[in-house]
Amino acid sequence: MTGWELEKPGELLQTSRNRLNKTLNEFLKRYPLAAVSADHNILLIIRKYHPSLNCSPDNETYQTDDFRYCMAYYTINAYTYFELPTYDYQYVSIQYDAAIGDFIIRISAKGITRITNIKELSQQLNNFIERDEATKRTIFESLANKVPIVTKPAPITQTEIQSAVVGRLTNTEYDDWWTAIDEVDIPFFNNEKMPVSFTDFNPNEDHSFIEEADELLRNFLAQDNSHRLTVSAYVYQNCMDFLDAIGYDDADDAMWKMKQPEEVWQFVKCTGLYVSREPYEDKGVYLQLLCDCDWEQEHGLQLVYNKQGKLVRVSAQDGHIIG
């Protein structure tokens, strides 16, 4: 067994209050590198992954002899994974520990066993940061079931903030989301008016954000429709990669028949501009152009610009700024 046998593992959790789903129960009996919490809310699976993709190295489409180890973390509604060093893993277990008020996880490999918890793993071995094998080993060997100290954010007391570029912004759906009262002319999209929002921003903590956001907006708003056409090839490639992946469909015929990359814009509709600070890697301020597109109607399209007004990413809207 490889640990990839279950389809939609999260949906197999908690099928009743007293017993596990039969398929999940059989899997746990046969695969020692998997464990479920006593309340049937958490499922852990240690398994080999493709060296760069979140899939099995035996995947028919992306099959490879190389791999890395990760531990999948499933709940009924969510999924993530934690990176692990390459060891000969023997078993994993999970149980509630009243002393820390959380579940503890015991991971055993030949010659080494570590006890940790979800919060420690989320901080030390999350999948947002790229680590080499030596670094992962050092971190894994240091795991000691520590509960990281979480600093409470400063309360947001403002209901309005001021930008020198887009004017007044007010709280919208969330305390740390701010939307300009007036829509802004966007030269990049033929001066079409669009909403501009600052997201995940606490003015009582991030004191340089507005200044950096204004610098970014000035640089981006200096770009007109001719600049948009210069990046057509990247958007066109995103479109064709998606169409190639799903195969031909009559509904997509007009996109298949495009002769020039610039034609792709007729299938794109920008819905808003969002300025955020990237939380995981370089902590820079970025602009996301979130768009609807005819080829990827579920996840749409995003174009990401840095503070200097340079395009740095074209992708589906995946919840990340720079990947």
Render pLDDT for 214-236 as a digit per residue (tens, 0 to 9). Answer: 999 999 999 999 999 999 999 99
pLDDT at 57: 92
Angstrom distances, CA of residue 55 to CA of 4, 62, 191, 219:
9, 8, 42, 39
Calpha distance 248→195 (Å, rounded): 35
Assess contact for 30 and 4: CB atoms under 8 A.
no
What number is the average pLDDT over the span 257-264? 96
pLDDT at 323: 65
- pLDDT for 126 beyond 70: yes
pLDDT at 10: 83
- More confident: 61 or 223: 223
What number is the average pLDDT over the span 168-187? 91
| H or E segment to which residue 227 belongs | helix 225-230
- pLDDT for 108 beyond 80: yes
| H or E segment to which residue 285 belongs | strand 285-293
Instruction: Tell me which residue of 89, 85, 88, 87 sits closest to 131, measured CA to CA.
Output: 85
Specify whether the backbone of 101 is left (phi greater than 0), alpha (psi in -120 to 50) or beta: left
- pLDDT for 16 beyond 60: no
Q: What is the pTM of this model?
A: 0.60
- pLDDT for 63 beyond 80: yes
Above pLDDT 70, what percent of the chain? 98
Q: 98: which 2 tokens? A: 């009243």
pLDDT at 283: 87
Rounded to the nearest integer, the mean pLDDT of the chain is 91
- pLDDT for 237 beyond 70: yes
Calpha distance 242→235 (Å, rounded): 11
Is beta strand 196-198 parallel, antiparallel or unpaired with respect to 268-277? Answer: parallel
Above pLDDT 90, what percent of the chain? 72
What number is the average pLDDT over the span 70-91? 92
For residues 64, 70, 71 and 73, what is the CA-based torsion angle, rounded to 10 degrees? -80
pLDDT at 19: 67
pLDDT at 100: 80
